[in-house]
């Protein structure tokens, strides 16, 4: 099958942009593979899940069914941390809670001079993906991977200067997620307590693993800011500021201890 034939079939199934990305990443496509991809596109499978790649903060990451695909909204989280480190936090030790693909911790370590990181996730599949991406970006000596849950007390050899997290925050039973999200792991999307369970656990369990005046950066869903502020205030954290994403939506909250 020629590239033009493959492009036409894929464009009819999922649009010109999807067809272009798939054909550019697969210069040689068999007829079977093309029709398989076309069926996936018709089902709403995200292109990143089909080709196993997604760009985030100018870097390419491997992704699969065990992880959320990196999303542009989360770049707001990375930008907030980089901005603060440029303003005075030197050689920070960074913890990424619920690392998924590892896109956040990799982007931070790549862009902050002297930074070292630890990435944790409860999913064995996500750990394998994150480890692959850390190796891909030559950061094995700068990022440690641990399988660990944030739902209980976390133990490390020394505290962190910075903690980041894009936790699950969609309320269970919420049907407003887009079709693409249905192909992401449920444990990375949904949380109990109307979507706030992860924030409640992190607010309590992260207090003992951060240095005095250390900062935690959290991605939040639309309209969740007020309640997340209350959760962290009640756990003894001080609200520092909020950051909006490119659409003007409040997306990141920053607290200190």
Structure tokens at 137: 């970006």
Report the DSSP pairing between strands 250-256 and 238-244. antiparallel
- pLDDT value at residue 182: 78
Q: What is the mean pLDDT of the chain?
A: 93
Give CATH 3.40.50.150 domain extents, the chain.
Answer: 66-256
The candidate with the shortest Cα–Cα distance to 199, out of 174, 248, 163, 157, is 163
pLDDT of residue 195: 92
Q: Which two tokens stand for residue 105?
A: 């911790």
- Separation of alpha carbons 133 and 125, rounded Å: 13
Q: What is the pLDDT of residue 50?
A: 95
Which superfamily does 66-256 belong to? Vaccinia Virus protein VP39 (3.40.50.150)
CA 152 to chain centre: 21
Phi, psi dihedrals of residue 239, rounded to the nearest 5°: -70, 130
- Tens digits of per-residue pLDDT, 29-87? 899 999 999 999 999 999 999 999 999 999 999 999 999 999 999 999 999 999 999 76
233-236 LR contacts (CB < 8 Å, sep 24+) = 234/203, 235/203, 235/204, 235/207, 236/207
Percentage of the chain beyond pLDDT 90 is 83
Tokens standing for 191?
């949380």
């Amino acid at each position: 099958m020629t590239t033009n034939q493959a492009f036409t079939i894929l464009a009819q199934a999922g649009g010109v942009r999807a067809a272009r990305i798939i054909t550019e990443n697969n210069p040689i496509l068999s007829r079977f593979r093309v029709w398989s991809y076309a069926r996936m596109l018709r089902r709403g499978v995200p292109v990143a899940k089909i080709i196993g790649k997604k760009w985030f903060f100018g870097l390419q990451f491997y992704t699969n069914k065990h992880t959320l695909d990196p999303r542009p909204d989360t770049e707001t989280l990375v930008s907030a941390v980089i901005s603060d480190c440029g303003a005075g936090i030197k050689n920070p030790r960074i913890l990424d809670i619920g690392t998924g693909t590892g896109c956040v911790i990799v982007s931070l370590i790549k862009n902050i001079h002297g930074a070292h990181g630890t990435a944790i996730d409860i999913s064995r599949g996500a750990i394998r993906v994150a480890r692959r991406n850390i190796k891909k970006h030559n950061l094995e000596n700068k990022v440690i991977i641990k399988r660990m849950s944030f739902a209980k007390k976390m133990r490390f050899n020394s505290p962190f200067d910075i903690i980041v997290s894009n936790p699950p925050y969609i309320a269970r039973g919420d049907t407003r997620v887009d079709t693409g999200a249905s192909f992401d792991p449920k444990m990375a999307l949904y949380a109990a307590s109307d979507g706030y369970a992860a924030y409640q656990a992190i607010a309590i369990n992260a207090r003992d693993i951060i240095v005095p005046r250390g900062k935690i950066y959290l991605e939040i869903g639309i309209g969740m800011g007020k309640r997340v502020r209350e959760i962290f205030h009640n756990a003894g954290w001080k609200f520092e500021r909020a950051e909006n994403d490119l659409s003007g939506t409040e997306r990141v909250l920053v607290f200190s201890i």
